[in-house]
Homo-oligomer: A and B are copies of this chain.
Amino acid sequence: MRDVFVVGGAHTPYLGKFHPDFIWKKHPDFGTRTNPNTEQYIRTIVADTFAATGATGALVDKAFIGNFAGELFDNQGHLGAFVAAADPGLVGKPITRVEAACASGGLALSNGVDAIRAGADIVLVLGAEVQTTRNAMDGADYLARAAHYSRQREIDPFTFPALFARRIKAVVAHTDTTTDDLALAAVKAYGNANKNPYAHMRAYKMDLAAAKASPTFLQNAELTDWLRVSDCSQVSDGASAVILASPKGLEKLGKAKSEVVQILASVIAVGAIDQDPDPLVMATVKAAAQRAYAEAGLGPADMQVAEVHDCFTVAEVLATEALGFADAGQGARLLRDGVTALDGRLPVNTGGGLVAFGHPVGATGVKQALEIFRQMTGQCGDYQLATPPTVGVSANMGGDDRTAVVSIYRAG
């Protein structure tokens, strides 16, 4: 099996409501300027990624783009042909758009890893999403297409928040986790994002009192008390990309192994969407993690940093359990004990996670890989870990634990 390395990459700022640069009715430029569309995000992220890594369109052998719902939010599918339009050197290259809801970016990453193993030397992996073109109710309807729409849409106008409120209700009933623990997760996320210039919520403060006082919003009477606005990830626009390379690709780019990060495993697991998951367990994430650890020859105790898919605060708790950092039902202890804080033993979501870095759906799984790279190479600025980690893991999830992509990284 050929070795696969992350050479570097780029993020755009993640934009949306409460970001100072996001154009909406309360912004002074409202009516005179608009936010970037998907095409513009793709152009920007390709150019920035080439600038950051020394890659060029001509050097790229293959490309993968993760995007969930461009057809709905931006009237645009066939996004591979927008990647080709982003750089003259990319015209004619093999470019594949992949989709697995919120795991679209992870799918792009994992298929990019396979492309290297199949013979490519330099692979461009990007994710992009625009979601702020529609109002919240329409957006929630679009996002429900990541669930089993005909079966699950009616649980609430906000289908996905309701599905995760159901998890919170079950987790609080059956484990030690409390809603105060989930407030701690939100405070950690916002605190980290406040140190991150790319974060959607970089300028929005959230202390424990604010998190506990955050309003509920679901219409489903059995679920509404269980989910606060502060428990939710953001409706963000944005893009992230990485360049992957084989050993020969590193030579072409003039990179030493000491400058890059190896991907030891990148495993996709997919569950059956016609069945409701056990609300206490992220079984698909766990299955992907177990295979990824086995492929990498490492285990949870080896991990020094993690990016997990906190689409809702409870998902961070359950993901840390699925990754083996805590026993079943005990994930919240990591938050209480500060284990997953920036100065903890195993920092999780150092840039703010989906809750506060933001969640431009198709970009998220790619962002996770770049965040691990940036921590390992000391590029995280105000949220840089004191000792750059050398081993880490990312866990990207689509739907309610229906697609999972778990990747294991080691500094070169």
Contact = CB atoms under 8 A, between A and B. Distances in A.
Interface of A: 1, 37, 39, 68-72, 75-85, 90-101, 107, 110-111, 114-115, 117-119, 142, 144-150, 153, 267-275, 284, 287, 398-399, 402-403
Nearest to A150: B75
Contacts of A119: 1, 117
Top 5 closest pairs, chain A to chain B, by CB: A94-B268, A81-B273, A85-B272, A117-B118, A81-B402
A91 B142 CA distance: 25
A272 B99 contact: no
A101 B118 contact: no
Given A69-B71, A119-B1, A119-B117, A267 B77 contact: no
Contact of A77 (B68, B95, B118): B68
Contacts of A101: 77-78
B100 A100 contact: no
Contacts of A146: 77-78
A80 B91 CA distance: 28
B93 A269 contact: yes
A153 B76 CA distance: 11
Contact of A71 (B91, B95, B110, B145): B145
Nearest to A141: B75
B94 A97 contact: no
Given A75-B153, A96-B111, 6 more contacts: A78-B146, A78-B398, A85-B274, A91-B270, A92-B270, A94-B270
